[in-house]
A and B are shown apart, each in its own frame.
Chain A
Amino acid sequence: MANKVRLGFVPLVDCAIPVVARAMGFAQQEDIDLELVREMSWAAIRDKLSFGMFEAAHLLAGIPIAARLGLSGLPVQNIVVPMALGRGGNAITVSTQLYQRMLEADPNAMLGPRGRSARALKKVIDEDKAEGRPILSFATVFPFSSHNYELRYWMAAAGIDPDMDVNIGVIAPPRMFDSLRNGWVDGYCVGEPWNQRAVFHGDGVIVALKDDIWSRSPEKVLGLREDWAQGNPELVSALVRALVRAAEWADQPGNRVELAHILSEEANVGAPFEVLKASLSGKPVLRPGEPPIDLPDRHVFYRYTATFPWLSQGRWIGEQMKRWRQIPQDTNLKAVIPDVFRPDLYRTAVAGLDVLVPQDDWRVEGAADAPDRSLVGTDQFLDDTIFKAEF
């Protein structure tokens, strides 16, 4: 009999890997009956994983770290991360009104590199301050989300204080689009298809992509309950293998149209096929009515070690938690991260397969001339930061 694994996911393009593992038979090949459960909130997924209603989950990379540090407001079980679920897919979208204001305030910044477009936002904020207008509202998807850290990174690099100069709230991904449309927020950072959807509807403009902020930045991960993982080591390996195979399939440019079809189904992401195809084909549209731009790395599922749970990437997220005072400054991340991110589980699972694994579990992030550049692809922060945290 096949081993049953229940996996919770949120309807986003990056749920592709588990969805493909089931739809294309990769889970079955590993003798796994993969049951996928669609959830509308990150808190619900985390709690159901903790309380044993799921064995596995599509998670924001920050959630398992926050849970380990006791930041979840409840005594959650420890969660381990044996693999990452791809890269890319986020963007910062602003309302068309705010986009116009940014364009008028600083046309040069809006023509320059997208990672620096917040300089125009800074001017809008300064104008509002001078006029005594209320501050702008932005949304991200969760307090411990890469989206929150990316939005803050982008703002802070332009001299905006994300805690004082704007209001940053949290809205679950499936509700983002309506919030922008109805004018409840002026902008947001969320994963696809919720940016592309706003552009297709003429309600929003993408002003920066995840890649523009940090091209190698981590995104979703596979989370497993630690006690379940400890008790089922072979099943963990089989699950990781099935998901790595699914990632390899999803990464092929030739499979992306089929992938868009699969994800467009109501049980999966349930967004329009055209919206998903634009993003998955690496041809996103940034502004309503304009032709798409060419971005082959918009969604990366497998290449560039996109499934490897790099300790240095977990560490970067932990450092952002410190930066924005979510955790005490003396938190020992060097000790905590290797308990959560588990490249050893990944290495065990793919041993003997033709899967490229890096030599070390961590690397210097953001160095354009790093020796492993061919393995990991483009790696640059918008402000050319070099992030080095040894393990």
Chain B
Amino acid sequence: MVKLEEFNILVIDENPDRAAIVERGLVESGYTRVARIGTSHNLVERIQALAPDIIIIDLENPDRDTLEQMFQVSRAIARPIAMFVDQSDASMIHEAVSAGVSAYVVDGLRQDRIRPIVEMAISRFNVFDQLRRERDEAQAKLNERKLIERAKGILMKEKGLSEEDSYALLRKNAMKQNRKIYEIAQSVITAFQLEF
């Protein structure tokens, strides 16, 4: 019987940051033989060379169409692989699809041995998603602040207002129109751009 850590796991991901997060999660759980590759034109050859037992790949990765062919062409790969779906567990299928994870396994591996690996990938994809969302939100906040700063600068220059009064004007209009301050700031910037 193969020990857990003897599985060869291949992570295929165009996003190196996400691949690294998935890899670390797997290694920390005791799966030490993890390889990762990004976009590759000789995918079939590389997979042959790495001989993975399990492939974890983003559900939307165009390379999946190439992988699908391996179900068909037995001479392309020594060991047949198939998409892993635990048919007895509908919630897991749903979690995997929502997280954007798909997994391919070589024929004959037992479901209960593969499940924890796929679950780990799902949780890591979700972690990555969360991190990305937080980063995007932080970026958006920063952009909002920049817009407000620019609008304030315009009002100070064009209307001779102090910084405080410029901000108060933006806020007053935002409250009156029931909009966000940065939206008013955007309107101010647009309006002054139009005049030039």
Chain A residues in contact with chain B, CB under 8 A? Answer: 39-44, 47-48, 51, 53, 71-75, 141-143, 169-172, 174-175, 179, 182, 184, 326
Q: Are B93 and A51 in contact (CB under 8 A)?
A: yes
Question: Counting chain B CB atoms within 10 Å of each CB, which of A43, A53, A142, A179 scores highest?
Answer: A43
Q: In the bound complex, how far is the Cα of B68 from the Cα of A230, in angstroms?
A: 29
Binds A, one of B79-87, B112-120, B154-162, B176-184: B79-87
Q: Are B66 and A73 in contact (CB under 8 A)?
A: no
Question: Counting chain B CB atoms within 10 Å of each CB, which of A44, A48, A143, A174 scores highest?
Answer: A44
Set of chain A residues within 8 Å of B59, measured between Cβ atoms: 44, 47-48
Q: Are B60 and A39 in contact (CB under 8 A)?
A: yes
Set of chain B residues within 8 Å of A170, measured between Cβ atoms: 65-66, 68-69
Determine whether B175 belongs to the interface, using a CB cutoff of 8 Å to chain A: no
Determine whether B72 belongs to the interface, using a CB cutoff of 8 Å to chain A: yes
With A44-B59, A171-B66, A184-B41 given, name 20 new contacts (CB 8 A).
Answer: A39-B60, A41-B60, A41-B62, A41-B64, A41-B65, A43-B65, A44-B61, A47-B102, A71-B71, A73-B104, A74-B85, A75-B87, A141-B65, A142-B65, A143-B69, A169-B69, A172-B63, A172-B64, A182-B41, A326-B72
Set of chain B residues within 8 Å of A75, measured between Cβ atoms: 85, 87
Set of chain A residues within 8 Å of B62, measured between Cβ atoms: 40-41, 171-172, 174-175
Set of chain A residues within 8 Å of B93, measured between Cβ atoms: 51
Determine whether B97 belongs to the interface, using a CB cutoff of 8 Å to chain A: yes
Q: Mark B47-81, 1 if CB is under 8 A from A, else 0.
A: 00000000000011111111111011000000000
Q: In the bound complex, how far is the Cα of B68 from the Cα of A48, in angstroms?
A: 15
State whether A169 and B61 are in contact (beta carbons under 8 Å apart), knowing that A51-B97, A142-B68 are contacts in the complex. no
Set of chain A residues within 8 Å of B193, measured between Cβ atoms: none
- From B82, which residue of chain A is reached at the shortest CB distance? A73
- From B96, which residue of chain A is reached at the shortest CB distance? A51
Set of chain A residues within 8 Å of B65, measured between Cβ atoms: 41-43, 141-142, 170-172
Q: Are B66 and A172 in contact (CB under 8 A)?
A: yes
State whether A41 and B102 are in contact (beta carbons under 8 Å apart), knowing that A51-B97, A172-B66 are contacts in the complex. no
A-B pairs, 7 with minimum CB distance? A172-B62, A73-B83, A43-B64, A170-B69, A184-B41, A74-B83, A143-B72
Q: In the bound complex, how far is the Cα of B195 from the Cα of A151, in angstroms?
A: 59
Set of chain A residues within 8 Å of B85, measured between Cβ atoms: 74-75
Set of chain B residues within 8 Å of A182, measured between Cβ atoms: 41
Q: In the bound complex, how far is the Cα of B77 from the Cα of A170, in angstroms?
A: 14
Q: In the bound complex, how far is the Cα of B64 from the Cα of A48, in angstroms?
A: 13
Q: In the bound complex, how far is the Cα of B85 from the Cα of A157, in angstroms?
A: 39
B69 to chain A, nearest CB (A): 4
Set of chain A residues within 8 Å of B67, measured between Cβ atoms: 43
Set of chain B residues within 8 Å of A73, measured between Cβ atoms: 68, 71, 82-83, 104
- From A44, which residue of chain B is reached at the shortest CB distance? B60
A53 to chain B, nearest CB (A): 7
- From A42, which residue of chain B is reached at the shortest CB distance? B65
Q: In the bound complex, how far is the Cα of B65 from the Cα of A170, in angstroms?
A: 6
Q: In the bound complex, how far is the Cα of B61 from the Cα of A40, in angstroms?
A: 7
Complex partner residue of B68 from A43, A51, A174, CB under 8 angstroms: A43
24 contacts between A and B (CB under 8 A): A39-B60, A40-B60, A40-B61, A41-B61, A41-B64, A42-B65, A42-B68, A43-B64, A43-B65, A43-B67, A44-B59, A47-B97, A51-B97, A73-B71, A73-B82, A74-B83, A75-B87, A141-B65, A142-B68, A143-B72, A169-B66, A170-B66, A171-B62, A174-B62
Question: Counting chain B CB atoms within 10 Å of each CB, which of A42, A53, A74 scores highest?
Answer: A74
Q: In the bound complex, how far is the Cα of B67 from the Cα of A73, in angstroms?
A: 11
A340 to chain B, nearest CB (A): 19
